[in-house]
Amino acid sequence: MHHDLLRKLLVVLGLWLVGCQTAVSPTPIAKQPTQSPIPNLQPPTPTLAPTATANPNGWQTIQPGFEKRLFETVDAEGVLTQRIKVIRIDNSLHRFEIAYKPQNPQSIQAWQTQLNASLIINGSFFTPEYIATGAIIIDGVASGQSYGDFAGMVVINDGRLQIQDLAERPYSVSDPIDFGIQTFPVLVKRGGQVGYTEPGEAARRSVIGVDENGRILIIITEFGAYSLAEMSRWLVNSDLAVDIALNLDGGNSSSLAVVGEDTVGFLPIPNVIAVYPK
């Protein structure tokens, strides 16, 4: 009898303890987004950001020949981990220039105020003294040392922009160029091929490219981070029809100002690519 009573008491006590544990079990805390989340090992599948004014394929017209599209990636819990902004520009309706002031580097906001352009994006890599590390041409005058075949070059003549792969065509000081800037690596080789596969750290990225129809693509990671290899794969796997694309100075230097949009970036930078309507 004593054993039966003890067993019953233990059963009752066990049920009571289970009830207490259930009652005080903490509610899971919702995961919060981080400033620079670690990307997946595989390139994320782009998901169109909903926008009421966008046409069915996701492009929103800002002005004639000047369109915007957002790509967002969320994790399994629905938390935003990455956002990429793409601006697509018709070369025939807009003109491009490069500005360079190594003695007076400025934030992207200051560049926008000074140049009054429709769009401004950061340009090439630079030294701690704000000197461009590759060749740069302003109003036909070249300075700096040309990179080798691992790099590419933004070339602007008569306001029209092209991208030159230095492995295909090395730069020559005799080339007639109004504005030019060299940077690296080439993320998408001509014809839409992956251009960079080396492993590396994830960071914010800024990219300039040309699609199969000759339209200019200005790309920046507004939120989140990619390695260069991941960015290369993302560009090729996207539906942007990228023909060739060149990495600009990324990380904290990634900066973009578009009229009517929030600016991205705040550090002083010595050179920028600017876009104006014709």
What pLDDT, on a 0 to 100 scale, did the predictor assign at position 44?
A: 38
Q: Kindly tell me the burial class for residue 83, based on how many C-beta atoms sit within 10 Å of its own C-beta (0-12, 13-18, 19 or more).
A: middle
Question: What average pLDDT does the segment 58-80 reach?
Answer: 90
Is it the case that residue 128 has pLDDT exceeding 50?
A: yes
Is it the case that residue 12 has pLDDT exceeding 60?
A: no
Percent of the chain, pLDDT > 70? 79
Close Cβ partners of 146 (under 8 Å, ≥ 6 residues apart): 134, 135, 166, 170, 171, 182
What ranges do the domains of the chain cover?
89-277
What pLDDT, on a 0 to 100 scale, did the predictor assign at position 81?
A: 84
Is it the case that residue 190 has pLDDT exceeding 90?
A: yes
What pLDDT, on a 0 to 100 scale, did the predictor assign at position 4?
A: 42
Question: What average pLDDT does the segment 220-224 reach?
Answer: 92
| Residue 57 pLDDT level (bands cut at 50, 70, 90) | low
Give 104-124 pLDDT, tens digit per residue: 999 999 999 999 999 999 999
Is it the case that residue 236 has pLDDT exceeding 90?
A: yes
